[in-house]
Structure 1
Amino acid sequence: MSASAVFVLDLKGKVLICRNYKGDVDMSEIDHFFTLLMQQEEEGLVCPVMSHGNVHFLWIKHSNLYLVATTNKNSNASLVYAFLYKLVEVFTEYFKELEEESIQDNFVVVYELLDELMDFGFPQTTDSKILQEYITQKGNKLEVAKTKVPTTVTNAVSWRSEGIKYKKNEVFIDVIESINVLVNANGSVMSSDIVGSIKLKTMLSGMPELRLGLNDRMLFALTGRKNQTILHCLSDELMKRISPTNVCAHALSVTVPMSGLQVKPLIWIESVIEKFSHSRVEIMVKAKGQFKKQSVANNVEIRVPVPSDADSPKFKTSTGHAKYVPEKNLVVWSIKSFPGGKEFLMRAHFGLPSVENHELEGRPPITVKFEIPYFTVSGIQVRYMKIIEKSGYQALPWVRYITQSGDYQLRTNS
Structure 2
Amino acid sequence: MASSIFILDLKGKPLIARDYRGDIPLSAIDRFMPLLEEREDEEGTSLPVMTENGVTYLHLREKDVYLVALSRKNTNAMTLLQFLHHLSKVFTEYFKTLEEESIRDNFVIIYELLDEMMDYGVPQITEPKILQEYITQESHMLEVTPRPPMAVTNAVSWRSEGIAYRKNEVFLDVVESINMLVSPTGNVLSSEIQGAIKMKVYLSGMPELRLGLNDKVMFESTGRSAKGKAVEMEDIRFHQCVRLSKFESDRTISFIPPDGEFELMTYRLNAQLKPLICCESVVESHRGRVEYMVKARAQFKNRSTANNVEIIVPVPNDADSPKFKTTIGSVKYAPERSAFVWKIKQFQGGKEALLRAHFGLPSIRDEDPDRRPPISVKFEIPYFTTSGIQVRYLKIVEKSGYQALPWVRYITKNGDYQWRMPEPLTSGASRLPPI
Q: TM-score, normalised by structure 1?
A: 0.72
> Does residue 241 of the first structure (1) align with residue 254 of the second (2)?
yes
Change (3 A) 1:6 1:371: closer
Partners of 2:87 and 2:281 lie apart in 1 by: 54
Change (3 A) 1:177 1:58: closer
Gap runs ≥5 in structure 1: 22-26
> Does residue 250 of the first structure (1) align with residue 262 of the second (2)?
yes
Change (3 A) 1:369 1:57: closer
Shift of 1:298: 1.1
Partners of 2:312 and 2:66 lie apart in 1 by: 46
Shift of 1:266: 0.6
Shift of 1:139: 7.6
Aligned residue in 1 for 2:412 = 403
Please list the CA deviations of residues 159-218 of structure 1 after superposition, one character each: whole Å capped at 9, or x if unmatched.
211110111111111111111111123331111111111111111111111111122359
Q: Which has the larger radius of gyration?
A: 1
> Does residue 263 of the first structure (1) align with residue 273 of the second (2)?
yes
When the two structures are aligned, how many residues end up with a matched partner?
385
Gap runs ≥5 in structure 2: 40-48, 221-225, 239-245, 425-435
Partners of 1:232 and 1:81 lie apart in 2 by: 19
CA contact (8 A) 2:247 2:254 kept: no
CA contact (8 A) 1:212 1:384 kept: yes
Partners of 2:294 and 2:185 lie apart in 1 by: 16
Aligned residue in 2 for 1:34 = 27
> Does residue 174 of the first structure (1) align with residue 184 of the second (2)?
no
> Does residue 318 of the first structure (1) align with residue 321 of the second (2)?
no
Give 1:114-129 correspondences, 5 Å limit: 114=115, 124-125=124-125
Give 1:224-373 correspondences, 5 Å limit: 228=232, 230=234, 236=247, 239-246=252-259, 248-259=260-271, 262-274=272-284, 278-354=287-363, 357=364, 359-360=366-367, 362=369, 363-373=372-382
Please list the CA deviations of residues 354-385 of structure 1 after superposition, one character each: whole Å capped at 9, or x if unmatched.
5xx25536542112111111111111111211
Structure 2 counterpart of 1:184, which letter? S
Partners of 2:268 and 2:69 lie apart in 1 by: 39
Shift of 1:66: 10
Change (3 A) 1:151 1:68: same
Aligned residue in 2 for 1:216 = 215
Partners of 2:281 and 2:413 lie apart in 1 by: 22
Change (3 A) 1:69 1:296: closer
Partners of 1:348 and 1:112 lie apart in 2 by: 55
Question: Relative to structure 2, which stretch is displaced further, 286-295 or 213-222?
Answer: 213-222
Partners of 2:29 and 2:359 lie apart in 1 by: 64
Give 1:73-84 correspondences, 5 Å limit: none
CA contact (8 A) 2:182 2:419 kept: yes
Change (3 A) 1:394 1:289: same
Change (3 A) 1:244 1:185: same
Two-structure CA RMSD over aligned residues (Å): 4.8
Shift of 1:402: 0.9
Give 1:112-191 correspondences, 5 Å limit: 114=115, 124-125=124-125, 130=130, 136-138=139-141, 150-191=149-190
Aligned residue in 2 for 1:207 = 206
Structure 1 counterpart of 2:333, which letter? Y
Please list the CA deviations of residues 36-76 of structure 1 after superposition, one character each: whole Å capped at 9, or x if unmatched.
9579969x879966669xxx7878799999988786x6565
Please list the CA deviations of residues 6-40 of structure 1 after superposition, one character each: whole Å capped at 9, or x if unmatched.
69899999x98766x7xxxxx6x76x653895799
Partners of 1:388 and 1:297 lie apart in 2 by: 36
Structure 1 counterpart of 2:200, which letter? K
Shift of 1:294: 0.7
Please list the CA deviations of residues 299-330 of structure 1 after superposition, one character each: whole Å capped at 9, or x if unmatched.
11112222333333222211112222233232
Aligned residue in 2 for 1:24 = none
CA contact (8 A) 2:60 2:81 kept: no
Q: TM-score, normalised by structure 2?
A: 0.69
Structure 2 counterpart of 1:360, which letter? E
